[in-house]
Structure 1
Amino acid sequence: MGDLFGATTAVQPLAARMRPRTLDEYAGQDHLLAPGRPLRQALEQGALHSMIFWGPPGVGKTTLARLLASLVDAHFVTLSAVLAGVKDIRAAVDEARQQQARSGRRTILFVDEVHRFNKAQQDAFLPYVEDGTLVFIGATTENPSFELNNALLSRARVYLLKSLDAQALSTLLQRALTDPERGLGELQLSIEPAAQQMLLEAADGDGRRLLNLLETAADLLQPGDCLGVALLAELLGEGRRRFDKGGEAFYDQMSALHKSVRGSNPDATLYWFARMLDGGCDPLYIARRVVRMASEDVGNADPRALTLALNAWDVQERLGSPEGELAIAQALVYLACAPKSNAVYMAFKAAMRDVAEQPSHEPPLHLRNAPTKLMKELGYSQGYRYAHDKPEAYAAGEDYFPEQLEPRQYYQPVPRGLELKIAQKLEHLRVLDAASSNQRRSSP
C-alpha cells in the first residue's frame, strides 16, 4: 500500500507509517496550526512563503514541511545538510526549473539540519529563493540567530516548534495502537496506565521516540497482549532525556542553572543540576561554571563561596562520581543561599572598558620602583608614601591612578554580607582622604 508521498509502507518503521496525512491529523503545535492561526490560514489559502522550523528532535518539522507541499500541490525536494553540498543545491535548482517549465508547479526545497550548512552553502540557494525558483523550508534544532546567516534569515520567517506535550503524545500513541492500516491496530494491543505514563515520560516530548519505543515493545508481544511496566522498564534501561552536549538545550539548561543560583533558589538549582547530570553533562564542566558563579554573583558578599566552589571542583577531579557530584551540589546550594553581589564583576568590566577606551597611560613616577641610580636620578619612586608606615596603614590622599586619568570608583559594594563591612571601611578611608586633601590645601 502506498502512503501520501508514494513510498511503500511494508518495510517502513512505525514512525514513518504514522506520518499525518492532513493538518487535522498533525499532533501538537497548536500555537501555529490551530484553526484561525496565521500560519494555518496562509497554508489553507496557498500563500506559501520561505520559512525555518526551529525545534527539538521528533516534533514534526519534516512532516510539517511535507504536509505543506501537499496542501499547495508543490513539488517537494529534500536535502540533508549533513550530506549535501553546493552541487546538490544546484541539482535541486535545475529540478525546480524543469518542474516549472513542464507543469508550472512550484518547488519546495526542504533542508534538514540547515544549521550544518556553512555560509557559502547557505548563500548558494539565496538567489533562487529571491527570484521565486524555490520556496525554501529549513529545519534546525539550533538557534537560527546563531547558526544561520542574516541574508537567509531576512528571506525566511522563523517558526518555533515546541516539544510535544502529554496530550499530543497520548494522541499519537492511541492512533498508533488503533490504526489497522498504518499502525498496530491489527495486533489489538493494550497498555497498562502506568506503562503508558512511563512511555510518555520516556518520549520526553519526542513523537518519533515515542513511536520507536512502542514499535520495539510490540515486536516482543503477541497479538492481544498488554504492554506492562516490567517489559517497558527493561526496554528503557537507563535511557537519558534529551540533552545536546553542544547545542541549544545544553546552553539553555546551563543558563537556567546559573540564574537559579543568582535568584537564590536552591531547589531549582538542584533540579537543573540533576537535569544536566541526567543528560550526560560532564560534572567538571559544571564545576568550572560554579567557580564563575561564585565570583560573578556572590563575590565579596561571601568570599567563602569561591573557596567552596574550588574545593568542589577539586573533589570531582580527585574522587569522581558520585562523591564529586555531591560536593558540587553542596557548593551550588551554598551559592544559592549566600548573599549576592555582582559589585566585583561590574567593577572589573568598568575597568576593562576604561582600559580599552583610554590611551596606554604610564604609571606615575612615584609608583615606579627605582632599583638603579639612573632611575632614582630620573625621579622614580620619589615622593612615594609607604602605607605601612602611616596611621591605620593607609597613606591618606595618595593617588594611584595615571596622572592623565581622574581617579575612578569602580567598586561599589552592595549592602549585603561581608560587603557591608567593606563599604564601611572604604567610606572611612574616603573620609581620611578628604581630611588629607583639606590639610594640604590649608598648608602655607
Structure 2
Amino acid sequence: MDLFSQSADADSAPLAFRMRPRRLDDYIGQQALVGPDKPLRRMAESGQLRSMILWGPPGVGKTTLADILAAASQANLEHLSAVMAGVKEIRAAVERARAAQARQQRTVLFLDEIHRLNKSQQDALLPHVESGLLTLIGATTENPSFEVNSALLSRARVYVLRKLDEADLIEVLQRALDDPQRGLGQRRIQADAEVLTTLARASSGDARRALGLLETACDFTRTDGDRERLTRDALEEVLGHQASAFDKQGDHYYDLLSAIHKSIRSSRPDAALLYMAQFMQGGGDPLDVVRRLAAIASEDVGNAEPRALPLVMAAWDAYLRLGDYEGQRAIAHAAIHLAVAPKSNAIDRAWKGAKGFVAEHPDFEVPTYLRNAPTKLMASLGHGEGYRYAHNEPNAYPAGHAHDCWPDELPATTFFAPSEYGQEKRFKQMQAWRAELDAQADRGTEST
C-alpha cells in the first residue's frame, strides 16, 4: 500500500504528511535528479523503474520520491522499515510480490533505513532483486557503500539527495500556507518573508521539520481582521533562542560565524566549540562552519601546520558521508585542531601581495625559458630554451638569480615571508638555505 492511498487529507494527520507531493511537478528540490530530462524524471515518464538507493539527510523527500515513482510505474508498492522488518517480513513481502506478478503487476519494495538491514536480511532480499521480482528503492541517511553489501549495492544505482536550501524551504512553507485542501489555506494566514526565512533557517534543510515548526507556530497566530497573522512573537514561542539567533538581517548568524573564526585565530578551542554549538543548535548549517574552517586553515594557520587544510576537507567529506549527527563531531575535530595549531598568516599576506602587485603590473611577459614549446615554430622562437630541470641540478635546485623565474622587467619582490611558528619555521630555513645557494651561484658566475 502506498502512503498516498492513506488518509493524507484527514485533519488529524500532521501537516508534513498532508503536504507530501503526489507528482514530480509538485516536488521541491533535487532538480539534478527530477528536473527536465534528469534520470528520475525519465524513469517516471517512461514508467520503467530500476532498483535504486536514495541517500540523503532526513526530510529531503526520499519516501515521497519513492511513492511518486511507484505510482508513475503503476506498480504495487510494498513499504517496509528496516528498523521493524526482519527476514519474516521480507519473505511475506516477496510472497505478495509473487501474487502480484501472477496478476501481471510489478512490485516496488520501498525499504526505509536500508542501512539497518543485517547480512541475513540483505541475503534474503538479494535473489528477488536479482530476478526482477522486486524493484528495490532503498532510503538511507548513511553512506550505503559502508552499510549495504556489495552484491546488493551492485544491483542498485545510488542517487544522492541534498539538503533543501533556504529558497526551497520557503517555497515548501508558502505552499502549505496557500493550499486550502491539504494545507492551511482555509485559515488565510499571512506570514512575513522574515518569518518564513527564520523558519527555513531553523529547519536545517529538512522539509518535514520546517512544516512541523510551521504547524506549531500557527497555533500562536493573532487575528488581524478577517485573516490570521504569523509574527515573530509566535516564533519565539516555538523556536526560543533560534528565533532571535537568525533574524532578518542575519546579524547573530554572522556574529556567531565571526566568533568561531576569531576564537580559532586566537587559539581558544573551548570558545570556538561554544559558539559552534550555539550556531548549530540554533539551526545554523554545519556546512557554513566547515566552509569557514577551510578559509581559516589557509588564512590563519597556513604552512605553520600544513595538515590543517587536508584535515578540514576530510571533516567536510565526513560530514557529507556520515550525516548530521556524526558529521558535526568531525567538524568539531577539525576546529579543535585549527585552534590548537601554530598560527601564521603568511599565505594570506603573500596572496594579497601578489594580487596587488599584478594589479600594478598587469602586462608583464613570461620569461622565454619558462614558456611552453609544443611546436617546432615555438621552439625556434626560443621558447623553453635555457630552462634548467630542477631534478637534474645539485640539491634539486637551479641556483642563481639567472634562473629565478622572475620577469626581467619587474622589480624583485618577495611575497611569501615564512613565520617562525610550527612547520613554517622549517620553510624559512629552507628559503634561507636556497638564498645562500643563489648567492654562491651568482658569485661563481661573476668570477668567470
Fold equivalence (TM over 0.5): yes
Residue equivalent to 1:159: 159
Q: Distance in 2 between matches of 1:93 and 1:302?
A: 56
SS at match of 1:417: helix
Q: Structure 1 pair 330/7, CA: closer, same or farther in 2 (3 Å)?
A: closer
Q: Distance in 1 between matches of 2:149 and 2:25?
A: 34
Q: Structure 1 pair 198/209, CA: closer, same or farther in 2 (3 Å)?
A: same
Residue equivalent to 1:233: 236
SS at match of 1:53: strand
Q: Distance in 1 between matches of 2:153 and 2:242?
A: 36
Residue equivalent to 1:27: 28
Residue equivalent to 2:344: 337
Q: Distance in 2 between matches of 1:153 and 1:95?
A: 24
Residue equivalent to 1:430: none
Aligned residue runs from structure 1 range 187-198, under 5 A: 187-198=187-198
Residue equivalent to 1:18: 19
Q: Structure 1 pair 272/48, CA: closer, same or farther in 2 (3 Å)?
A: farther
Asked if 1:207 is matched to 2:210, the reply is no
Q: 1:28 deviation in Å?
A: 0.6
Q: 1:417 deviation in Å?
A: 2.7
Asked if 1:79 is matched to 2:80, the reply is yes
State the one-letter code of the partner of 1:82: V
Q: Which runs of 5+ in 2 are unaligned?
A: 244-260, 282-292, 309-331, 348-420, 435-448
CA contact (8 A) 2:305 2:423 kept: no
Q: Structure 1 pair 190/299, CA: closer, same or farther in 2 (3 Å)?
A: closer
1:92-114: CA deviation from partner (whole Å, max 9, x where unpaired)? 1111111112x211111111111
Q: Distance in 1 between matches of 2:302 and 2:30?
A: 43
TM-score (norm 1): 0.58
Q: Structure 1 pair 99/3, CA: closer, same or farther in 2 (3 Å)?
A: closer
Counterpart selection for 1:418 from 415, 425, 443: 425
State the one-letter code of the partner of 1:237: G
State the one-letter code of the partner of 1:15: A
SS at match of 2:221: coil
Q: 1:193 deviation in Å?
A: 2.1
Aligned residue runs from structure 1 range 265-344, under 5 A: 274-275=275-276, 278-279=279-280, 332=339, 334-335=341-342, 337=344
Q: Distance in 2 between matches of 1:300 and 1:168?
A: 40
Residue equivalent to 1:44: 45
Residue equivalent to 1:219: 219
SS at match of 1:136: strand
CA contact (8 A) 2:221 2:231 kept: no
CA contact (8 A) 2:221 2:234 kept: no
Q: 1:426 deviation in Å?
A: 12
SS at match of 1:79: strand
Percent of pairs with identical residues:
49
Q: 1:3 deviation in Å?
A: 8.3
CA contact (8 A) 1:76 1:108 kept: yes
TM-score (norm 2): 0.57
1:327-367: CA deviation from partner (whole Å, max 9, x where unpaired)? x8796175453789xxxxxxxxxxxxxxxxxxxxxxxxxxx
State the one-letter code of the partner of 2:424: G
Q: Which runs of 5+ in 1 are unaligned?
A: 241-259, 281-289, 306-324, 341-413, 428-444
Q: Distance in 2 between matches of 1:139 and 1:336?
A: 43
Q: Structure 1 pair 132/178, CA: closer, same or farther in 2 (3 Å)?
A: same
SS at match of 1:418: helix
Q: Structure 1 pair 45/300, CA: closer, same or farther in 2 (3 Å)?
A: closer
Residue equivalent to 2:115: 115
Structure 1 stretch displaced more, 48-57 or 171-180: 171-180
Q: 1:141 deviation in Å?
A: 0.7
CA contact (8 A) 1:177 1:185 kept: yes
State the one-letter code of the partner of 1:180: P
Q: Distance in 2 between matches of 1:278 and 1:64?
A: 31
Q: Structure 1 pair 233/104, CA: closer, same or farther in 2 (3 Å)?
A: same
Q: Structure 1 pair 156/276, CA: closer, same or farther in 2 (3 Å)?
A: farther
State the one-letter code of the partner of 2:25: D
CA contact (8 A) 1:114 1:139 kept: yes
Q: 1:46 deviation in Å?
A: 1.3
Q: Distance in 2 between matches of 1:50 and 1:3?
A: 19
Q: Structure 1 pair 278/302, CA: closer, same or farther in 2 (3 Å)?
A: closer
Q: 1:132 deviation in Å?
A: 1.1
CA contact (8 A) 2:305 2:422 kept: no
Q: Distance in 2 between matches of 1:179 and 1:233?
A: 25
Q: Structure 1 pair 226/164, CA: closer, same or farther in 2 (3 Å)?
A: same
Residue equivalent to 2:68: 67
Q: Distance in 1 between matches of 2:18 and 2:189?
A: 18
Residue equivalent to 2:91: 90
Q: Distance in 2 between matches of 1:302 and 1:161?
A: 35
SS at match of 2:29: coil
SS at match of 2:139: strand
CA contact (8 A) 1:55 1:142 kept: yes
Q: Distance in 1 between matches of 2:90 and 2:15?
A: 30
1:255-275: CA deviation from partner (whole Å, max 9, x where unpaired)? xxxxx9xxx999xxx989954
Q: 1:277 deviation in Å?
A: 6.2
Q: Structure 1 pair 105/417, CA: closer, same or farther in 2 (3 Å)?
A: same
SS at match of 2:220: coil
Q: Structure 1 pair 265/82, CA: closer, same or farther in 2 (3 Å)?
A: farther
CA contact (8 A) 2:302 2:345 kept: no
SS at match of 1:125: helix
Q: 1:152 deviation in Å?
A: 1.3
Q: Structure 1 pair 67/331, CA: closer, same or farther in 2 (3 Å)?
A: closer
State the one-letter code of the partner of 1:225: E
CA contact (8 A) 1:122 1:149 kept: yes
1:381-435: CA deviation from partner (whole Å, max 9, x where unpaired)? xxxxxxxxxxxxxxxxxxxxxxxxxxxxxxxxx99533258879999xxxxxxxx
CA contact (8 A) 1:109 1:134 kept: yes
Q: Distance in 1 between matches of 2:274 and 2:426?
A: 28
